[in-house]
Amino acid sequence: MLTQDILKALRNDSLDVAILVTPLNESEVEEIPLFYEELFLYLNKNQVNKIQNPISPEILKGERIWLLSEGHCFRNQMMNLCKIGKNNSLPGFDFESGSLETLRKIVDTEGGMTVLPELGTDQISESQLRQIGHGKHYREISLVYTRNFAKKKLIKVLEEELKKSVPSSMHSAENGEIVEWK
């Protein structure tokens, strides 16, 4: 589901709780940050020696960057991180995907680059990953529910279990910046 559909389902009580990229800045929704996932630029292996680490966002404006489809919050984060304006066209690209795995495979076969979250880089060679700009950039992942949800103890248990499932190094965004998605 897209973020807007999840928020609608939370508001009309079709969903009790969700895991979303935040901050949402929605007054009727509670957010409990679970972890902070670093964002990386993923390169085709033929570009590894041509692009330094870290890469300046300004350099990316002329590059071929594969994006998620319109409506995905991570697409907006990718554009914000790479400093691509919403009205800017991307040179040579009219294909988008709804899957990060598909984007990664397109980069591998067709060239170009994309942005991947840390948990999506598990089996990728570090030589194909670059930091964008100086410092670390994160996306915040939170447990989200409406203010009128009564089962607070269940949410607390769910929060604790979810936090156990990621490395403790991901529990804070120290020395980094959270990339907005709106």
Domains of the chain: 3-36+139-173 (3.40.190.10), 37-136 (3.40.190.10)
Whose tokens are 């965004």? That residue is: 173
Tell me the CA end-to-end span of the chain in Å, nearest whole number.
17
Q: What is the pTM of this model?
A: 0.83
Chain mean pLDDT for the chain: 85
Whose tokens are 């895991």? That residue is: 19
Spatial separation of the C-alpha atoms in residues 39 and 78, rounded to whole Å: 9
**pLDDT tens profile 2-53:** 888 999 999 998 999 999 999 998 888 999 999 999 999 999 998 888 888 8
Locate the DSSP E strands across 25-135.
Answer: 29-43, 113-117, 129-130
Spatial separation of the C-alpha atoms in residues 57 and 109, rounded to whole Å: 23
